[in-house]
Amino acid sequence: MESSHTDVLVIGAGQAGVVLSYYLQRSRIRHVLVEKDRAFSAWNQRWDHFHLNTANWMNVLPGGARRFVSQASAGGLADRHQAMAYFDDYLSRIKPPLVRARVSGLKPHHGSWLVQCIDRSFLAKVVVICSGAHVRPRLPDWQSRLPDSVAQIMVPDYRRANQIKTSRVLVAGSGSSGMQICHDLARSGRFKRVFLARGRNRHFPWRLLGIPIHTIAWGLGLFNIRRDSWLGRRMHTHTHASDPAAPPGPRRLRRQYGVSIKPRVVGYHDGQLLCADGSRVDTHDTTIVWCTGLKPDFGFIDAAIADRLVDRYGLPKQHQGVSALPGLYFLGMRFQSTVGSHILYGIGRDARYIAEHINDYLHQEDRVDHS
């Protein structure tokens, strides 16, 4: 098996990994990005009619073009193709040292880190996990007991309405992804019945008193609320299930397209989905689209150290991206340091902080080695 050495190995080449590469290059730190797919693959795999929920002015990355979408308003919402055009241009500017490989293991090795892939391995002084805050579907426990006869699709696998062959469809979850996908399905006109099983999400408007909601949130400093502040600590206790969702809201979907709004789905019995208010939805000729949230996947971390790095919810134990184990970092996690950490707007600040921390750590290691 081929083996390589580097100072820093970055797992994942989404916005977190590529922006970190930008700052590592500025500090002349030798590094490699390992990515199982193409760079920015999570964005490229979104559904056909996907659009961002953050305004264009919020999405510009450090070292990239100053406009997220050329010849479009700063307050507009980019679609998937426009976003990928920006990301492809960003890659051509940053030129990160990218290696395509799937990481299968991570463990300490004589004061360094051993990163194992399918056909090669890396030995690095520092590892930064940028594999994404939204990777695996977060599903209710009872979902695994649904019979094979019930058609299901997970949100990462949804592309377009004609994937679904049943005459009825139920979208489980009313976060931003659930609302966009429900809208996509309803306006396609392909289905006799479209259901939306709401979650606990609140829904915000695009404008308030004629002012874009993102401008208001930015002016109030909401995206910059720190996790370790009093308000941040209170907000962080509610980060697992109830993110605010962008339009269209359930009322509009019901009024404009006749979508049947249901409360949260809580179980299954005898061919029917059970809702929180006691009502039921027959699963015959019905596909469930699961939009109940996504979570990170750190299954590649060695079991001997996993408890020190990941909590019982599967989320990283970290402070501003710094883990309890020397030389191991996380980046791009939800609420890593601020409310905006996991979105394009907030990734630059966290990446710069991690790069500076790594620079100090490597210099300390060099002093120890030469003492």
Q: Are residues 169 and 286 in the same domain?
A: yes
Cα 319 vs. chain centroid, distance in angstroms?
19
Q: Which residues partner with 150 through β-bridges? A: none
Q: Work out the pLDDT band at 246, boundaries 50, 70, 90.
A: confident
Q: What is the pLDDT of residue 38?
A: 94
Nearest to 353 by CA among 319, 311, 309: 319
- H/E stretch holding 92: helix 80-94
d(CA 271, CA 273): 7
- Considering 290, 308, 326, which residue would you say is the last residue of a domain? 290
Residue 265 burial by Cβ neighbours in a 10 Å radius (0-12, 13-18, 19+): buried
Determine contact, residues 29/69, Cβ cutoff 8 Å: no
Q: Are residues 281 and 333 in the same domain?
A: no
Q: What is the pLDDT of residue 370?
A: 56
Is residue 353, in this structure, part of any structural domain at all?
Answer: yes
Is residue 228, in this structure, part of any structural domain at all?
Answer: no
Q: Are residues 48 and 112 in the same domain?
A: yes
pLDDT by residue (tens digit) across 88-128? 999 999 999 999 999 999 999 999 999 999 889 999 999 99
In this predicted structure, the answer to whether residue 172 has a pLDDT above a threshold of 90 is yes
Q: Are residues 85 and 129 in the same domain?
A: yes
pLDDT by residue (tens digit) across 73-98? 999 999 999 999 999 999 999 999 99
Q: Are residues 131 and 197 in the same domain?
A: no
Q: What is the pLDDT of residue 136?
A: 86
Q: What is the pLDDT of residue 278?
A: 96
* Boundaries of domain holding 169: 138-204+244-290
Q: Provide Rg for the chain, Cα atoms.
A: 22
Q: Are residues 14 and 44 in the same domain?
A: yes
Q: Are residues 286 and 253 in the same domain?
A: yes
Q: In the chain, what percentage of residues exceed pLDDT 70?
A: 96
Q: How many CB atoms lie within 10 A of CB 74?
A: 14
Q: What is the pLDDT of residue 239?
A: 47
Cα 203 vs. chain centroid, distance in angstroms?
19
- H/E stretch holding 186: helix 176-188
pLDDT by residue (tens digit) across 222-239? 888 988 888 877 776 644
Between 309 and 205, the higher pLDDT residue: 309
d(CA 8, CA 226): 27
In this predicted structure, the answer to whether residue 58 has a pLDDT above a threshold of 80 is yes
Is residue 214, in this structure, part of any structural domain at all?
Answer: no
Q: What is the pLDDT of residue 367?
A: 62
Is residue 216, in this structure, part of any structural domain at all?
Answer: no
In this predicted structure, the answer to whether residue 352 has a pLDDT above a threshold of 50 is yes
Domains held by the chain: number: 2
d(CA 322, CA 329): 5
In this predicted structure, the answer to whether residue 272 has a pLDDT above a threshold of 90 is yes
Q: Are residues 303 and 273 in the same domain?
A: no
Query: What value does the mean pLDDT take over residues 159-181?
Result: 96
Is residue 102, in this structure, part of any structural domain at all?
Answer: yes
Nearest to 105 by CA among 97, 96, 114: 114
pLDDT by residue (tens digit) across 294-340? 889 999 999 999 999 999 888 899 999 999 999 999 999 988 999 88
| pTM over 0.85, yes/no | yes
Is residue 238, in this structure, part of any structural domain at all?
Answer: no
CATH code (residue 285)? 3.50.50.60
Is residue 236, in this structure, part of any structural domain at all?
Answer: no
Q: What is the pLDDT of residue 217?
A: 86
Q: Are residues 325 and 278 in the same domain?
A: no
Is residue 223, in this structure, part of any structural domain at all?
Answer: no
Q: Are residues 158 and 284 in the same domain?
A: yes
Q: Are residues 200 and 124 in the same domain?
A: no
Tokens at 1, concatenated: 């098996």
d(CA 365, CA 371): 10
Q: Are residues 330 and 275 in the same domain?
A: no
d(CA 300, CA 107): 9
